[in-house]
A and B are shown apart, each in its own frame.
Chain A
């Protein structure tokens, strides 16, 4: 019984395995990992030449439900996740209503039970309505099964309130995900501040709007001893500040997103609103610092910041278009192209950053192929090249900055809790 995957290259950094191995799934768990497993199985997948890795844990996803089902739903978002090799997503709390109380979390949980194709974990809000005025009951959120808290989309501007939030998070042993942005310094900007903002006549967002808040949140984390995770790091100075803090022993982790190592501010020339995101696409220098941070371990996690928006919200004047882009379906392939193929990371390091490390940040037992672990895994044809086409996007929204790109690394199977939730079909 179960699923037997034969002859694939198993990449499992948690167990320091990178070798040709078979893997047997029974029920929803991994039952055996070995060379030449001969046990009978209901389904045998021949995976010679393919990479078998733990399912991706994407800790920065906007599923938009409840509230903006026109952009994305739990159903469509998790279908997109499955296609992208993602078996666990952390759903950000900027829904309507926000995930700031038991009642709203129960509402979302019911939708997840009904519709989710992969594991969906909930991130709670830090403040009520994400307004930055009044703390949520963080203890109650934790009891409701929230895995982290964040006001994502907004930074908690009030220093005192942020410090209180961190102390409460420490008490409840829950990580705080920081959207680091001083909106006063962003000054209504829409792209990176620099020559391109001058050239295009658009308001710019300085690196300072991000890194000053990174510095503040790290200092408050050090004082409160809470675990903080810096979301979507985009610039050089943030990487430097985080590296220093880690050296000092502050409990800080961070993530970047594929577009920050795959694209620069030059992608915005021509006013393509799919290139409009927050933080904005930065300079070449920042991109190199992000890659270096990934290489030297300063950046722990790669997460998509999947932010679906409708065509109506994107196919308008650049300044008026929404910030954000989708990424669940392109995160893995873009990472393979930009990091593995360009020798920034090896396969094992990449898998650590997209599966193992985010699982550790969230304190969940995922991101591994250990015997006895949840059977979440992906089979990837790592050498297969294809073009990312708009018509193939599963997500309800189509705002991808990578449409038309040739990428490498086709997801053939995604298995979540022992079930095949996605199978590539030519």
Chain B
């Protein structure tokens, strides 16, 4: 790796935390993507490790069950030679009524350098970041943001299409309850993409168009113009206040199938943050088909998280 390049990129990175893409400007988002570009190669080596964060400790503090995001952060930290500790709610004193801030301060007292937090309450990462001096990385908070997921989506898209600016991007699914949707919308619009969100009316949150997106419930029309489509996981169980469409009904009206893709642009990029509900938001043929980049997203997630951990952990050292 070119250490000089890292030092150069990092000169402009001033944030100790990554909480959401709403808070970043275009240059900062591009800095993360460019840093990830240089880190991606590490995972192709025979010895998949660089000493960038040797001696640093990253704690994954997960209040929601998650395998893929947690593992991705763990792999990323280890490839940077950081020490990693995983705390899941079931194994911790959280259940004994310790507050989030107390837990965070204890982690800080252990002289950890980074807390990666996943929490079911929106704003939990913001709150923790305010309370702590060490770095906080948001690995998903409630319906609010999931910045590293959006960054890896955008990274993958940029790799495939060469650029983001001017692309027609469709985001399909439960927009109302999706942190992935929010982070993608902030990130993509800041980089100049034209974003359309597509869902049944009931799954649009109020004022969504003020985020700078077009709104449509006509999936076939949306797919016709899309350079890429990001298909969200439907979580029918999540919000008891919303009348969700019936699953098969949803698949019929919004599911991404080969028949639908046949009428779309030939090279349309199909993305999904995982885990996929096959036969609900997309058919198996599409998930495993030629347009799908779903597994590349997973690979790129490592590079993005390496970049984020590296930037926040070294922000104040430069």
Do residues B241 and A203 form an inter-chain contact, with CB atoms below 8 A?
yes
Interface size on B, residues (CB 8 A): 26
Residues of B contacting A197 in the complex (Cβ-Cβ under 8 angstroms): 205-206
Which residue on A lies nearest to B143, using beta carbons?
A201
Contacts of B100 in A (CB 8 A): 316-317
Cβ–Cβ < 8 Å partners of A249 in chain B: none
15 contacts between A and B (CB under 8 A): A195-B210, A197-B205, A197-B206, A198-B176, A198-B182, A198-B205, A198-B206, A201-B123, A202-B143, A202-B144, A271-B123, A316-B99, A316-B101, A316-B127, A318-B121
Q: Which of A186-214 contact B (CB under 8 A)?
A: 187-188, 193-204
Could you say which of A187, A202, A203, A312 contacts B123, with CB atoms under 8 Å apart? A202
Give Cα A197 to B123, complex, Å: 12
The reply on A320 being an interface residue by CB < 8 A is: yes
A406 contacts the other chain (Cβ, under 8 Å)? no
Is A202 in contact with B99, judged by CB distance below 8 angstroms?
no
Q: A200-B144, A201-B141 are in contact. Are A319 and B207 (CB under 8 A)?
A: no
- On whether the beta carbons of A319 and B121 are closer than 8 Å, the reply is yes
Question: In chain B, what residue has the closest Cβ to A315?
Answer: B101
Given contacts A316-B100, A318-B123, contact A201 B207 (CB under 8 A): no
Interchain CB contact under 8 A, A315 and B99: yes
B31 nearest CB across to chain A (Å): 24
Contact with B along A11-52 (1 / 0, CB 8 A): 000000000000000000000000000000000000000000
Q: Given A201-B141, A201-B145, A201-B182, decide whether A318 and B122 contact each other with a Cβ distance below 8 A.
A: yes
Contacts of A271 in B (CB 8 A): 122-123, 126-127
| Residues from chain B with Cβ under 8 Å of A202 in the complex | 122-123, 142-144
In the complex, which residues of chain A have a beta carbon less than 8 angstroms from the beta carbon of B145?
Answer: 201
Binding site for B on A (CB under 8 A): 187-188, 193-204, 270-271, 312, 315-320
Q: Which residue of B lies closest to A188 (CB)?
A: B241
Taking the closest CB of chain A, its distance from the CB of B92, in whole angstroms, is 16
The smallest C-beta distance from B298 to any residue of chain A, in angstroms, reads: 24
Enumerate chain B residues within 8 angstroms of A194, measured Cβ to Cβ: 206-207
B127 touching A204, Cβ below 8 Å:
no
Whether A320 contacts B207 by the Cβ 8 Å rule is no
- Give bound CA distance, A374 to B89, whole Å: 59
Q: How far apart are the CA atoms of A19 and B176 in the complex, in Å?
A: 58
Min Cβ gap A373→B in Å is 49
Complex Cα distance, B123 from A315, in Å, reads: 12
Within the complex, which residue of B22, B119, B143, B179 is in contact with A317, where a contact is CB–CB below 8 Å?
B119
CB distance from B173 to the nearest CB of A (A): 15
Cα-based distance from A199 to B142 in the complex (angstroms): 12
Flag if A201 contacts B241 (CB, 8 Å): no
- Residues on the B chain within 8 Å of A270, using CB: 126
Q: Which residues on A sit within 8 Å (CB–CB) of B123?
A: 200-202, 271, 317-319
10 A-B pairs with the lowest CB-CB distances in the bound complex, closest first: A195-B207, A201-B143, A201-B144, A271-B123, A201-B122, A317-B121, A198-B205, A318-B123, A187-B241, A195-B210
Nearest-neighbour CB distance to chain A for B206, whole angstroms, equals: 5
Question: In the bound complex, what is the Cα–Cα distance between A186 and B35 (angstroms)?
Answer: 44
Please report the C-alpha to C-alpha distance between residue A197 and residue B211 in the assembled complex, in whole angstroms: 12
Indicate with 1 or 0, residue by residue over B107-139, a CB within 8 angstroms of chain A CB atoms.
Answer: 000000000000101111011000000000000
Contacts A198-B207, A271-B127, A317-B127 known; 6 new A-B pairs at CB < 8 A? A197-B206, A198-B182, A202-B143, A317-B121, A317-B123, A318-B127
Docked complex Cα distance between A270 and B22 (Å): 12
**Contacts of A319 on B, CB cut-off 8 Å?**
121-123, 142
- Beta-carbon contact of B179 and A201 below 8 Å: yes
**Considering only CB atoms, which chain A residue lies closest to B142 in the complex?**
A201
**B208 touches A (CB below 8 Å):** yes
Residues 189-218 of B at the A interface (beta carbon under 8 Å)? 205-208, 210-211
Closest to B63 in A: A317
Chain A residues within 8 Å of B127, by CB: 271, 316-318
